[in-house]
Amino acid sequence: MPYLELGSVDLWYEDNGGGGVPVVFLHAFTGNTEGWAYQLPAFTNAGYRNVTYDRRGWGQSRDTAAEARTTYAVDDLHALVEHLGLTSFHLVSTAGGGYVGLDYAVTHPERLRSLVVACSGGPLQKDAEYMALLSPYGRIPDFQSLPAWFREIGPTYRVANPAGVERWIEIEEASKQETAHQEQMRNDFTLKLLETIAVPTLMLAADADLYAAPPRMRAMANRIADCEFALVPEAGHAAYWEQPEAWNRLVLDFICQH
């Protein structure tokens, strides 16, 4: 598929085309377009036009900036949306992609039919009220030093599907660009800012998520006026990969209403 040249980055994207309602997918910090392998067939069969892309600093997207500069994820996404002529679409995000999804819902709400934020704590690290929800028993000491597969994949899947874990690791390792100038958020998020989001939203949590535990996602969902909350059982942070049938069903049932 082609690259979209934006001056400081060439974005790698894939678009299955067709006349269906567009769905744009935002991958996790540990992923790229290949991570949506279990979603794209189901969404295509449901009649949607699927658009995926490697965000700035990930996968096959190429950072062309000569020096570090401040860039915003929503600007890259919006440039792609404009390039493809998407005037109204669903935005489906997971984990770190949820940061971008929320930022886009605040910045360009007029383009969105709906927003799905799955397994994402959101970019609310500056909000004291929200950070108080982080119980001292909610994280393992030196958590970030543990392997990504342990942090993000739930215990049920790790035991039941070692081949699936190995494939997830392959994608995660291929997604890394250590020297890339990665994207920033345009808005400074707080729980209060979430109250301004008017886009129909689904907050989708997983019961074994060590990053975005369900109480944290409920706290965000409670601040968005038109928001549903759902839970994927027996799944960790990578619920879209671990439990794709349940994940796809919940997301498709939601977006078909909008």
* CATH number of the domain to which 19 belongs: 3.40.50.1820
Residue 213 burial by Cβ neighbours in a 10 Å radius (0-12, 13-18, 19+): buried
Cβ-contact 193, 102 below 8 angstroms: no
- What residue has token string 């609310």? 124
User: Which residues form the domain of 200?
Assistant: 3-255
Radius of gyration of the chain (CA): 17
Task: Give 81-116 pLDDT, tens digit per residue.
Answer: 999 999 999 999 999 999 999 999 999 999 999 999
Q: How many domains does the chain have?
A: 1
**Residue 184 per-residue DSSP state:** B
Residue 258's alpha-carbon distances to 89, 96, 112, 121, 160, in angstroms, are 10, 24, 10, 24, 35
Nearest to 35 by CA among 22, 11, 54, 57: 54
List, in sequence order, every beta strand (DSSP E) within the chain: 3-5, 9-15, 22-26, 49-53, 62-63, 89-94, 112-118, 201-206, 227-232
Task: Give 21-74 pLDDT, tens digit per residue.
Answer: 999 999 999 999 999 999 999 999 999 999 999 999 899 999 887 777 778 999
Residue 186's alpha-carbon distances to 52, 61, 117, 174, 183, in angstroms, are 21, 20, 18, 27, 10
Tokens of 164: 């699936």
Task: Give 118-171 pLDDT, tens digit per residue.
Answer: 999 888 888 888 888 777 766 678 888 999 999 999 999 999 999 999 999 999
pLDDT(185) > 80? yes
pTM value?
0.95
